Amino acid sequence: MRNAHTVEQVRAAEGLLLDALPEGTLMRRAASGLAFAVLDFLGGGYGRRVLLLVGSGDNGGDALYAGAALARRGAGVEALLLGGDTVHRRGLAALLAEGGRVVADVAGAHLPDVVVDGIVGIGGQGGLRPDAVAVVEHLRGVPVVAVDVPSGVDVDTGEVAGPHVEAAVTVTFGTHKIAHLVDPAARACGAVHLVDIGLDLPPAPVLALQASDVAALLPVPDAAGHKYTRGVVGVRAGSAQYPGAGVLCVSGASTGLVGMVRYDGGADALVHACHPEVVVGAGQVQAWVVGSGGGADAAKALARSRADGVPLVVDADGLAAVDGPLDVPALLTPHAGELARMLGVDRAEVEAAPLRHARAAAERFAAVVLLKGRHTLVAEPGGRVAVTTVAPPWLATAGSGDVLAGLCGALLAAGLTPFDAGAVGSWLHGAAAATAGAGGPVTAPDVAAAVPTVCRALLAPSHV
């Protein structure tokens, strides 16, 4: 599991350790991990030119101590102090003692091989200030290693108010922060490298499943089970107008993770032709998937499915009929445009603050909300959020959302909670796209077809 904690949680954990350890221990651990990451990024130290951007707090202190270590390895290290008269004094002394030097500005200077962004970390308030914006602008094109977080992003929300650092690598300490997982800030982090500094942390409010977590949650048939004990998922998706959505939703449901798929939508001839294993017609199910390509019939399909009292996945056209809490466990699967309509805001507002809006919708509709995107969010009432980070951008292709809805429905029918079904479903969906595309394009049917391959790899002994 990749855990992302809030600034408050990190500060509390750091506070306990700071009391127990000699002064400066944590910062030395952080700075040495940072220095190694920079050396790794540069492929060595000797002869490399490093520019430190140093703010007034401990984030700047980390940069200065790391700069000292890099200077000791033969790098030419310069520091631009952006915190006015305030700087981490001991860090600066350490840098100067190793032959590093302070520069007054960067205009006219040769561009360095790497910039180390120590402007602000978890203590940052508001966006980058104008002096820092000008420097960052001037250095655009030089790769940046960010200390803890790229300066200028909001650490606890993943929101980005204005200009900010765009890093190639972010080196963080103790635990991931929410900005490392949640867009748009996560896009500015580059590769995130975690340095252990020995923090003891409480449960995280935001997390990202890793392969072993998904493997542990996969529904595996009981040796003595039969198809009904594995679960039956029903699909009410697709219509005369959008028959393909019904086929694709069924293809996600019919990846072998449940014992049976029923189809009760408006595209039964095509669904049956494409999926002869599917039973056509209403009947008993453990979960319904409603709405993908459902057109005008989606509202009726939602009402019928709710009446069955089983857990639901509600997608696409079905979402338009959700106007308040549903009386059954539910997983709602909007993209940003659909969530914006549900909440009565603009799409751009959702895209700028996906975490805030997914959490707000989870409270308002008393359901788990899976907000699709580059980093898909799965938010449950109460605030816990899973982020799926494995999907390649090729997955943004028509119909792949229909496959996801069917896949999540199968996991619900197999007995997973709506939260786990959303987190596991979107992980499998992203991994299937990566597997099927192997670095190249995919279509929605390719994604569904690759789900069993992904499951097989997860269940292989090396993963257990």
Ligand X SMILES: Nc1ncnc2c1ncn2[C@@H]1O[C@H](COP(=O)(O)OP(=O)(O)O)[C@@H](O)[C@H]1O
Instruction: Name the residue with tokens 């002394």.
Output: 93
148 is in an annotated binding site: yes
Please give the structure tokens belonging to residue 458.
């997860």
Residue 198 contacts ligand NAX per CB under 6 A: no
What's the one-letter identity of residue 78?
E
Does residue 33 touch ligand NAX according to CB under 6 A? no
Residue with tokens 């940052």: 124
Q: Is 231 flagged in the annotation as binding?
A: no
Tell me, residue by residue from 106 to 135, as one string, x for binding to K ion by CB under 5 A and - for no binding.
-----------x------------------
The pairing of strands 279-280 and 206-208 is: unpaired
Alpha carbons 234 and 254: distance in angstroms, whole number: 10
- Write down the H helix ranges in 73-217: 89-97, 130-138, 211-217
Q: Could you say whether residue 199 binds ligand NAX (CB under 6 A)? A: no
Length of the chain: 464
Closest CA relative to residue 53, chosen from 163, 154, 128, 126? 128
What SS3 state is found at 104? coil
| Cβ count within 10 A of residue 343 | 17
Q: Which residues pair with 144 in a beta bridge?
A: 115
From the CB of 230, what's the least distance to ligand NAX, in Å? 48
Q: Residue 464 CB, nearest distance to ligand NAX (Å)?
A: 35
Residues from 44 through 63 that contact ligand NAX (CB under 6 A): 55-60, 62
Binding flag, residue 446, ligand NAX (CB under 6 A): no
Q: How far is the CB of 322 from ligand NAX (least distance, A)?
A: 39
Sheet holding 191-195, edge to edge: 101-103, 76-81, 49-54, 114-118, 144-147, 169-173, 191-195
62 is in an annotated binding site: yes
Query: DSSP strand E in 82-216: where?
Result: 101-103, 114-118, 144-147, 169-173, 176-177, 191-195, 206-208
Which entry of ligand NAX, ligand X, K ion, none binds 399, CB below 5 to 8 A by partner kind? ligand X
Q: Which of 126, 325, 337, 382 binds ligand NAX (CB under 6 A)?
A: 126
Smallest distance, Å, CB 131 to ligand NAX?
9
Identified binder of ligand X from the candidate list 64, 82, 391, 431, rule CB under 6 A: 391
Identify which range of 94-102, 151-159, 219-227, 244-252 contacts K ion by CB under 5 A.
Answer: 151-159
- For the annotated binding site, the residues are 58-62, 117, 121-127, 148, 151, 245, 293, 335, 372-376, 401-402
Interacting residue ranges for ligand X, rule: CB under 6 A = 335, 372-374, 376, 391-393, 395-396, 398-402, 404, 429
Interacting residue ranges for ligand NAX, rule: CB under 6 A = 14, 18, 26-27, 30, 55-60, 62, 86, 119-126, 129, 147-148, 173, 197
Interacting residue ranges for K ion, rule: CB under 5 A = 117, 146-147, 151
